[in-house]
Structure 1
């Protein structure tokens, strides 16, 4: 029940839509006096009271700390802050409106609070957000951020705003978001931004009772749905790109998901319902694009762009973090909302996923998320409490997102992801003063989590405290880089084109021709994703920067205490911080609470414990200045200054016990590194029937010969068959000729792109890789 109700009239469709929007914003079906709503509503009331107490209408501001007017805006950083203050001010009014409308806030139905909200709306309209003003600073604030807050404000307040007030706000949004904003699918009007612009236009349609604007909002969504082959949008392999070359499923992708979920639900059954058949392509993305990036309720950082740097904002007095779990919860809540627009079968599957994620989200429980609003909380809790919904388990398997240089590997009890870059995908993105030191996040960053361990690894103040030159899995030059090095919005990309791999859906051979940002560094890196381990190879590591080069095997965030025991070849090491040792030729290492590492070559490894202190402001100009300290254990190979042919070979065993790691190290024949050079990297694992090779140039290895660069994964199975997977990560080959020196009796099945030329004592076939965008081509044979 709501604290204040608008007369339940529905004189026409516009009233119906406004009331539906109000219901979506405020939520239904929850008990305000029961948890988790009781505490959430009380906290909402406290937040509203706090911002209300400091509201002070004045020339150039509504709150003293949110100044939006400057006599001469410089259109640079300061002007960006001014424009953000406009949206921030409306957002504070929205918090007050929620407290006025919701029950149990202590301010429910307060006439004084309502009067202050009205005063604030009028003040902002008259001073800065009206049809006579020109936008400055960040366009997003004027065209998306502020209209979104206004839509919710007007829906909540309803008849408490006069027709004159509403008309003035509608006119302002029409001014800042004219029809021309969606006239072409280019520049800022693509992907998630296009959906948000349509949402702004829908505001003017509903509140302005404008059928043409609602039709425009609906129709302008159409370019979002079809698969793309370049630029912003969804790709056939499930990748999602925003800002032309940034993997962005977790942030902009969530904006798109949330925007479409709201619009589909709002307009359902109306004269403006979104009914184009292409919308099914987007509905498919829930399981193809979003679910693979969620693990135990968190959204993997490798697809969140500059969002990883947001952490705690300078203005957030409650010090509430924005992290991978918060981003994951937002995606989950939007999937729940979208389920109302899906088929019965789709909705059932999605709710099962949601219930499973919620059940496993032990580190950061879904229903305890301080950033989740009451309405989203109510919708999620309804799914969790529904006895008819069966929780889906975490899947196993491998997903290769070739179009965004990302890979995700899932095994029982753990998951991992690798983040690469290429001529198609940027090193990293910075912009608006965010992600100032994300330089090496695309240099082969390998992240992993367990079912009951490591779920706070990247959540617990990792990004402001980790050494940005020692991100896990990366090979980097220690050449000092300036904050925000490289072009804004991901403008800088490496020249290399080999990035991706081949997968049979369970295992994978993934590789990267690595380049350094503003550096001469070159390297070849490969990851072979297997049953209980990831084999990691590096070769051809060369640099002439005049600085040291390192390959980071891992960099574990141990939290504030950092007492996890480290065992090297059976000997437990000191826990003191700082502490370091170099093992000349270690066999294996185990870190309690995480897993272990087996070293497959005889080169030295550095083990380093340290405490690191940083601030969110160090990596994001809008972040908190409060210092935070975390302890780390870093394992890395020091290649020396200006190496000419550095390399490494090791495997990671997430979640493994000390005994399991020791046993794997002793089983020297479990994996054979058959080649580890600048032109080829490959392994054979007899017990798994695996031969996997990344060919950075045509050649032979492991009984496989290819005519052009390719990734090859072969699995010999116990039923007498073998699955052969081939891909062209360079995306430049027309055809790839492959020979496998193994007796083959017959072909069981093959993709249409595969032409078999001979069987018998060896197998020869040709792959038509033209236009395949790095996808895997599959062939099954009987041995």
Structure 2
């Protein structure tokens, strides 16, 4: 990510960014050949969605073209079968906004077949089809859309974004008559009720991030249809605010949605959302670049550079072997689409973006697209037939060598969204946390029904060379207990979903609690935690993460909520994760609850119903053990075919080892999922404790562990230095690395080291130097002081924000953490002689 450029964009007025880019190829071929003719924008839109004669004639695109035609025929037949109150058979209108939106979508899908170039069909250019589409648009408007007093029921998104998206593209594809365009644009403006004067309102909480890009993209297209240059420019001016890096200490329009300097992406004010809304935003902004190509609106490469930064530092760390990680998908984790499907959207955007980048940037993007796309990628899911052709060219070009944008070893602290990703060539570890800044989970519209602990230290350990659909995705959340996600500490109780509690998909108590109201968002859909401490330091490819488990904001506010509003109290725990090469060391202290029993799930994995799962280990006295049951082990090893995970225990821990066959319907996590039964073997390591007790845990997760590797840990490879609610620290002897998280005010003492107040610290001693990295997980401290009992050290080079002072007893390091928002500050020290 070009942070300098992105920070610059934070201060550049949107009017100065009223340009996207021209493809490098177009700029070379036709210098100065750009114009402001809105008809060029419309032609670009048609080429994007319906393809070109050249793209659609390609054999690689044939299946997409066939699918376009077949889909259109399906909906034309459904038009013929429609009953009273329906446009399409099976989609009754009048009370269902999803059915109304779907009706507009299907008209758009018919329009694609009418307008697409390429191989001839009976639908292509068929005036009867065009006339029928136009007539049905009029019918929908007259009966179900145009009357403002009857519309706008259900979800606001349907009326302000969903319908407008389909209508705007359909009007373009059929070259709609002017009166139909003006009629619909007037209605679409009127439905922009969260805006201002029938336009975007940058102060509206609805007009942010991906939603803002959707709305403004639609308005660009509407401006082109109206030949309204001012509308186009205003929409672009609004959209380009999304490209600015969010500065949490200087919010623009009060908006926290968008991309942060550390690569985090937030939507809905507090939800970590790169893998859902973030990918939608990426796709839409790249489409904007394509729509503006070759026009006066496209003359600068700044926006492409910013988007490339998103890809490199926001998306790439979250994609492991073509799979989008669960930690950034919000309620979308409950959908049946896979992590591979998510990445197909991103690959299409990267392929297109590369066509607008130049030189080494383009080469890096193409290499990453080729590296990321699995052999099974469904290119027919691409939005554009042109993109399918571009991808085929890229795939067939032997000069493009697949290459990851991530280094082989990487530890990424997305502290702005309380997420961490730790990668090595054979595994990736992803961790989801929460705080008073970031939501514990997202539930909405009957999606993600059982979400309560997804942001409470839940982790996902991805092993290389595996089909991740067999380990994670929808079937993981379907078959694993929501109280027993890997890494979670939960009180022993039964909670109810929102529909079970209230009989609707939301808590209904107007005027305060209505769908999409601020109260609904704050207390029901995505409540934040009440803890400030969540985050950690990175040093090269190593990481330390600390987190204090808390109640959510709804429970903390229970006295101010209606009597029938149900809230749940959480258990207590202080946790750390130390991210190394061969292992992830996990510490927990102060685990418990005054009135309820508590269970901590050290890890959970799923396997196929007939997979050859084995569990072996050794007890504390070294005697071998196998199977399931209650034990106090020295180490354990789970295997499923070639996949294995090991567990080494740094202190005696009484555990339950379970392997159960579980069958559940995918509908248990999302009301609209197909009622498909899933059967999995569910492996879980759990530690139970009674009410009114406190305990600690210390263990290492060892990806791809061999039995001999697990046995080697008993020789002191990892030393547990501290594990209390005040201080958690470990030392890795082979790496000569010490990592610590301090949670409370005052001085915290470790061998050769003192840390002042809450902090996350990593120290690595090399043969002739010492590296120190520090971050402020609270985001609230102005400075952090670390004292090393090593004298005569000096900075290898000055580091902004770090002061080195020699003292009588050693070396004092003062890190200026004011307004760093959890970012790590690192310095290398050398002997002074």
Deviation at 1:261, TM superposition (A): 1.0
Aligned mates of 1:631, 1:417 — CA distance in 2: 22
Deviation at 1:435, TM superposition (A): 1.3
Aligned mates of 1:760, 1:32 — CA distance in 2: 78
Residue 143 (1) aligns with residue 167 (2): no
What are the within-5 Å matches in structure 2 for residues 743-762 of structure 1? 743-758=791-806, 762=810
2:729 counterpart SS class = strand
- What are the Cα deviations for residues 426-449 of structure 1, in whole angstroms up to 9, with x where unaligned? 111111221111111101111121
Residue 345 (1) aligns with residue 360 (2): yes
Structure 1 pair 105/451, CA: closer, same or farther in 2 (3 Å)? farther
Deviation at 1:329, TM superposition (A): 1.5
Structure 1 pair 106/564, CA: closer, same or farther in 2 (3 Å)? farther
| 2:392 aligned partner | 381
Q: Quick check: 1:174–1:204 contact (8 Å CA) kept in 2?
A: no
Aligned mates of 2:303, 2:369 — CA distance in 1: 25
Residue 232 (1) aligns with residue 257 (2): yes
Structure 1 pair 595/749, CA: closer, same or farther in 2 (3 Å)? same
Aligned mates of 2:119, 2:690 — CA distance in 1: 64
Aligned mates of 1:274, 1:149 — CA distance in 2: 28
What are the within-5 Å matches in structure 2 for residues 198-217 of structure 1? 198-217=216-235
Residue 503 (1) aligns with residue 538 (2): yes
- What are the Cα deviations for residues 132-167 of structure 1, in whole angstroms up to 9, with x where unaligned? 564222121112112222233233333xx4444344
Q: Quick check: 1:42–1:105 contact (8 Å CA) kept in 2?
A: no
Deviation at 1:695, TM superposition (A): 0.6
Deviation at 1:255, TM superposition (A): 2.0
| 1:5 aligned partner | none
Aligned mates of 1:44, 1:567 — CA distance in 2: 53
Aligned mates of 1:491, 1:609 — CA distance in 2: 32
Aligned mates of 1:105, 1:136 — CA distance in 2: 41
Q: 2:108 aligned to 83, 88, 94, which one?
A: 94
Residue 446 (1) aligns with residue 459 (2): yes
Structure 1 pair 386/123, CA: closer, same or farther in 2 (3 Å)? farther
Deviation at 1:525, TM superposition (A): 0.8
- What are the Cα deviations for residues 609-660 of structure 1, in whole angstroms up to 9, with x where unaligned? 122223333222222223222221112222x222532221111122233333
Q: Quick check: 1:682–1:702 contact (8 Å CA) kept in 2?
A: no
| 2:484 aligned partner | 470
2:587 counterpart SS class = strand
Normalised by the size of structure 2, how large is the TM-score? 0.83
| 2:187 aligned partner | 172
Q: 1:122 aligned to 138, 146, 166, which one?
A: 138
Residue 678 (1) aligns with residue 713 (2): no
Aligned mates of 2:598, 2:400 — CA distance in 1: 52
2:431 counterpart SS class = strand
| 1:390 aligned partner | 401
Aligned mates of 2:483, 2:62 — CA distance in 1: 45
Q: Quick check: 1:226–1:278 contact (8 Å CA) kept in 2?
A: no
Q: 1:542 aligned to 561, 574, 592, which one?
A: 592
| 2:822 aligned partner | 774
Aligned mates of 1:645, 1:120 — CA distance in 2: 66
Aligned mates of 2:133, 2:771 — CA distance in 1: 65
Structure 1 pair 373/672, CA: closer, same or farther in 2 (3 Å)? same
| 2:371 aligned partner | 356
RMSD: 2.7
Q: Quick check: 2:304–2:356 contact (8 Å CA) kept in 1?
A: no
Q: Quick check: 1:100–1:110 contact (8 Å CA) kept in 2?
A: yes
Deviation at 1:32, TM superposition (A): 5.3
Aligned mates of 2:333, 2:120 — CA distance in 1: 32
| 1:689 aligned partner | 736
Residue 619 (1) aligns with residue 669 (2): yes
Deviation at 1:297, TM superposition (A): 1.6
- What are the Cα deviations for residues 8-34 of structure 1, in whole angstroms up to 9, with x where unaligned? xx9982222111111111234546573
Structure 1 pair 462/763, CA: closer, same or farther in 2 (3 Å)? same
Aligned mates of 1:683, 1:211 — CA distance in 2: 62
- What are the Cα deviations for residues 559-607 of structure 1, in whole angstroms up to 9, with x where unaligned? 3433222222396845xxxxx4122234232323132222222112221
| 2:755 aligned partner | 706
Aligned mates of 2:299, 2:720 — CA distance in 1: 54
Q: Quick check: 2:615–2:636 contact (8 Å CA) kept in 1?
A: no
Unaligned runs of 5+ in 1: 1-9, 71-81, 312-321, 575-579
| 1:521 aligned partner | 571
What are the within-5 Å matches in structure 2 for residues 534-573 of structure 1? 534-546=584-596, 548-569=597-618, 573=626
Q: Quick check: 1:609–1:633 contact (8 Å CA) kept in 2?
A: yes
What are the within-5 Å matches in structure 2 for residues 247-396 of structure 1? 247-273=272-298, 275=300, 280-311=305-336, 322-358=337-373, 361=374, 365-367=376-378, 374-393=385-404, 394-395=406-407, 396=409
| 1:190 aligned partner | 208
Q: 2:424 aligned to 392, 406, 411, which one?
A: 411
Q: Quick check: 1:696–1:709 contact (8 Å CA) kept in 2?
A: yes
- What are the Cα deviations for residues 741-782 of structure 1, in whole angstroms up to 9, with x where unaligned? 234532213421111111686221211211111111111112
Aligned mates of 2:419, 2:460 — CA distance in 1: 11
Deviation at 1:381, TM superposition (A): 2.6
| 2:630 aligned partner | 582
- What are the Cα deviations for residues 345-388 of structure 1, in whole angstroms up to 9, with x where unaligned? 32221111111112xx25xx224665766444333333222333
| 1:109 aligned partner | 124
Structure 1 pair 132/304, CA: closer, same or farther in 2 (3 Å)? same
Q: Quick check: 1:305–1:429 contact (8 Å CA) kept in 2?
A: yes
1:286 counterpart SS class = helix
Residue 25 (1) aligns with residue 56 (2): no
Aligned mates of 2:459, 2:801 — CA distance in 1: 32
Structure 1 pair 180/33, CA: closer, same or farther in 2 (3 Å)? closer
2:790 counterpart SS class = coil
Q: Quick check: 1:479–1:545 contact (8 Å CA) kept in 2?
A: no
Deviation at 1:410, TM superposition (A): 1.1
Unaligned runs of 5+ in 2: 1-33, 249-255, 502-506, 508-518, 553-567
Structure 1 pair 115/407, CA: closer, same or farther in 2 (3 Å)? same
Q: Quick check: 2:635–2:646 contact (8 Å CA) kept in 1?
A: no
- What are the Cα deviations for residues 378-429 of structure 1, in whole angstroms up to 9, with x where unaligned? 3333322233322113522111011111111111222111100011111111
Q: 1:154 aligned to 163, 171, 178, which one?
A: 171
| 1:600 aligned partner | 650
Q: 1:734 aligned to 782, 796, 802, which one?
A: 782
